[in-house]
């Protein structure tokens, strides 16, 4: 009997430790994902900055960034059968599309659809989507069940498995796909073509909601734009513009029997379904770009007079800081002075918004794209920071103006941002979603208020990966459904879908697409996912090495190289802001001394650079590591002929803009020397593959574990 009790205790402790590892692995994956979405908001701000400072990066026509962010109306896309003008090679032997009967015989084929068939499959839904309302209303009176699927993210295998288990879309098996069809996965094009084809076949039984990744700016970072450019090199620009139009035409919500609301992200305290039904959704091409507002809409004359009075009464700024700021501005080029002022505004606005409890929807990036950023500003030194005003550039000074009532297009944008980006929380109320960077957090009281206001009983949303594929919260009034299995790593999570019958009781169906997971034990699956998460976290530490070392040294006044565990964890959280259990993760990240102190330099011992490069500027390599993904996106856009080569002049010009936007202090000499060092064969062009390899984090332990090759 005692032996059985001991075995039971050991087993319970073992499973508890395994569950702890599983949970912090999940937290690492999710925190890094949301941090990446904040980086995406900063990247979209950089693209806007490029449009303001450079007209053309290459060639005589407008560059791809301009086409994506400020697209012109292409008459080619408005033609009735524009896809007929795309030539098809006679040697093509891939799938042919017939809308009278659609078969799944070629979804796993390695051959791509031809550009004409691809555009045909996307142009026809465009006309259909134009006729659809913003909110689709469905009924279970004429069907047995309605199937609701969450994020797919380019996972074709998950989509095919859903069709295999649940049946193909038809009058007997209607579907609602709740956004995020593209990005991250490798088969986004195949997923979209298949969904659009069934939308054309069964427009009354196949329904697609818009997600936050049905956004051309998100596609730049998370893979869909790159996939289109690689698979359809000749006509990629036309196809990307076509998708930009189609994504903006997707409905934003679905209501079943007037009782079940389906949106991609969530809601806020400002969500109004009646207002959402009346907006012009096609005008919001991207939720990441704040609607433009001209300064003519503001009373600049009056605001400048107010600003002068405020400057006369404001004596809190030291004269030394004024002269220092003036000297810094004089060192900037005229085209960058305006941007520097905008960055200063944005940083102040970000700090003020983080302490505010306002629940208004916004893109809460540390660097807000818009220069019209709300910030508190006192009218006198004694007045508390209670009045919100706008700081706008006027001539060579900043003018303070009261915020005007938001025009209709601003309200439309905010409502769509909330629908696409928001997340539920357990606490009551509504607050900005600073962790993800956009939308808001809505509590159970916000959910209940909206449901009662519109006579609803349930909210179904997606947008968040869940380990079991679904999750219930807010007393069962909110359901999160996620349909991309193995989202972070092989075996990291299941996918799921919901079936709703006439009784409107949700039934959940789980699955996992994998060829190897079934052969692994639970311990092995947790170990694989944990290893992948820790690798990503260590790369995050390495990319912020200088900031972390500076923070460590503030506590280590005697330069001993040691800190207490609490101080070490405090620095990590203040720099990375990932909200992770650092004390629990400490054994995986650094060493302890005999007295229990942390050797903080050991955090970086297991990593090194891919290819050694000369040190041309302090922290330059670290900066490139940190923004490697962003630079890859920019370089792929610059490389229009997809040769993998860009000129050194293009590299210099782009990096100067990038460093100015980020506020990185790197002079032109360092940039030129870096360009020459990357140009390995000295032909005046940079091999981008070698560039990325140079700024890749190599894990030394992985190299040690590799078997030795016999010569």
Active site residues: 213
Using alpha carbons only, how large is the chain's radius of gyration in Å? 27
Cα distance between residue 198 and residue 192, in whole Å: 10
Cα distance between residue 155 and residue 107, in whole Å: 12
Question: What is the chain's length?
Answer: 711
Is residue 495 classed as helix, strand or coil in its secondary structure? strand
Q: Hey, how many other C-beta atoms are within 10 angstroms of the C-beta on 225? A: 25
Residues 6+ apart with CB under 8 A from 471: 464, 479, 480
The β-bridge partners of 495 are: 511
Pairing of β 458-461 and β 260-262: parallel
Cα distance between residue 176 and residue 169, in whole Å: 10
In 88-214, alpha helices (H): 115-130, 156-166, 188-201
Cα distance between residue 575 and residue 601, in whole Å: 16
Contact 457, 503 (CB under 8 A): no
Tally the C-alpha atoms within 13 A of residue 144's C-alpha that lie toward its C-beta: 6
C-alpha distance from residue 177 to each of 146, 153, 291, 421 (Å)? 11, 12, 28, 17
Cα distance between residue 349 and residue 265, in whole Å: 25
User: Which of 187, 184, 193, 195 is closest to 157 using CA atoms?
Assistant: 187
Contact 144, 150 (CB under 8 A): no
Pairing of β 495-500 and β 146-149: antiparallel
Residues 6+ apart with CB under 8 A from 150: 178, 180, 462, 469, 480, 481, 482, 483, 484, 495, 496, 497
Structure tokens, 109: 């084929």
Cα distance between residue 630 and residue 42, in whole Å: 10
User: Which of 293, 291, 290, 301 is closest to 401 using CA atoms?
Assistant: 301
Q: Output the 3-class SS for 7-41.
A: HHHHHHHHHHHHHHHHHHHHHHHHHHHHHHHHHHH
Cα distance between residue 389 and residue 4, in whole Å: 70
């Amino acid at each position: 009997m005692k032996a059985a009790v001991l075995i039971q205790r050991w087993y319970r402790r073992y499973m508890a430790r395994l569950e702890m590892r599983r949970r912090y692995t999940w937290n690492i994956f999710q925190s890094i994902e949301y941090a990446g979405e904040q980086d995406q908001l900063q990247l979209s701000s950089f693209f806007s900055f490029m449009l303001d400072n450079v007209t053309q990066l290459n060639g005589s026509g407008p560059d791809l960034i301009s086409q994506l962010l400020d697209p012109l109306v292409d008459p080619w896309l408005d033609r009735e059968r524009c896809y007929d003008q795309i030539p098809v090679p006679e040697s093509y032997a891939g799938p042919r599309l017939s809308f009278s009967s659609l078969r799944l015989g070629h979804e796993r084929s390695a051959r791509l659809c031809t550009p004409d068939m691809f555009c045909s499959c996307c142009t026809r839904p465009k006309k259909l989507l134009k006729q659809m309302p913003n909110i689709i209303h469905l009924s279970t009176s004429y069907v047995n069940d309605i199937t609701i699927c969450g994020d797919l993210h380019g996972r074709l295998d998950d989509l095919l498995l859903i069709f295999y288990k649940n049946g193909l879309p038809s009058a007997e098996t209607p579907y609602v796909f709740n956004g995020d069809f593209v990005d991250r996965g490798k088969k986004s094009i195949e997923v979209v073509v298949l969904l659009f084809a069934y939308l054309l076949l069964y427009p009354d039984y196949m329904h697609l909601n818009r997600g936050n990744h049905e956004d051309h700016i998100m596609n730049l970072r998370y893979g869909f734009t790159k996939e289109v450019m690689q698979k359809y090199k000749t006509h990629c620009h036309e196809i990307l513009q076509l998708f930009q139009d189609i994504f903006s035409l997707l409905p934003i919500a679905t209501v079943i029997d007037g009782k079940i609301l389906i949106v991609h992200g969530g809601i806020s305290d400002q969500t109004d379904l009646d207002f959402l039904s009346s907006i012009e959704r096609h005008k919001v091409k991207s939720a990441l770009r704040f609607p433009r507002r001209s300064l003519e809409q503001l009373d600049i004359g009056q605001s400048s007079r107010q600003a002068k009075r405020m400057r006369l009464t404001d004596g809190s700024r030291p004269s030394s800081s004024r002269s220092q700021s003036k000297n810094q501005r004089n060192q900037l080029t005229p085209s960058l002075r305006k941007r520097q002022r905008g960055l200063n505004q944005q940083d102040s606005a970000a700090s003020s918004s983080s302490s505010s409890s306002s629940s208004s929807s916004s893109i809460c990036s540390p660097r807000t794209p818009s220069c019209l950023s709300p910030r508190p500003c006192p009218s006198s030194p004694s007045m508390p920071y209670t009045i919100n005003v706008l700081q706008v550039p006027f001539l060579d000074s900043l003018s303070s103006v009261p915020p005007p009532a938001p025009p209709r297009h601003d309200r439309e944008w905010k409502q769509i941002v909330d629908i696409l980006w928001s997340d539920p929380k357990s606490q009551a109320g509504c607050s900005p979603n600073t962790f993800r960077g956009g939308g808001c957090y809505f509590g159970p009281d916000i959910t209940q208020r909206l449901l009662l206001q519109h006579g609803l009983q349930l909210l179904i949303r997606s947008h968040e990966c869940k380990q079991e594929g679904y999750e219930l919260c807010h007393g069962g009034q909110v359901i999160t459904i996620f349909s991309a299995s193995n989202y972070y790593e092989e075996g990291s999570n299941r996918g799921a879908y919901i079936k709703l019958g006439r009784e409107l009781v949700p039934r959940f169906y789980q699955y996992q697409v994998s060829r190897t997971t079934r052969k692994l034990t639970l311990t092995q699956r947790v170990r694989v996912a944990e290893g992948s998460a820790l690798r990503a976290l260590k790369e995050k530490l390495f990319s912020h090495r200088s900031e972390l070392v500076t923070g460590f040294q503030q506590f280590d006044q005697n330069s001993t190289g040691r800190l207490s565990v609490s101080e070490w964890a405090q620095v990590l959280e203040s720099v990375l802001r990932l909200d992770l259990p650092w004390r629990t993760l400490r054994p995986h990240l650094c060493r302890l001394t005999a007295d229990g102190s942390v050797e903080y330099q050991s955090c970086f011992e297991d990593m090194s650079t891919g290819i050694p490069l000369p040190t041309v500027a302090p922290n330059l390599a670290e900066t490139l590591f940190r923004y490697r993904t962003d630079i890859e996106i920019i370089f792929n856009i610059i490389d229009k002929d997809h040769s993998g080569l860009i000129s050194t002049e293009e590299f210099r010009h782009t990096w100067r803009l990038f460093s100015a936007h980020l506020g990185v202090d790197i002079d032109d000499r360092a940039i030129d020397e870096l360009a020459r060092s990357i140009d390995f064969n000295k032909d005046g062009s940079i091999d981008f593959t070698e560039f990325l390899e140079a700024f890749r984090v190599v894990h030394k332990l992985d190299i040690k574990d590799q078997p030795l090759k016999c010569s």
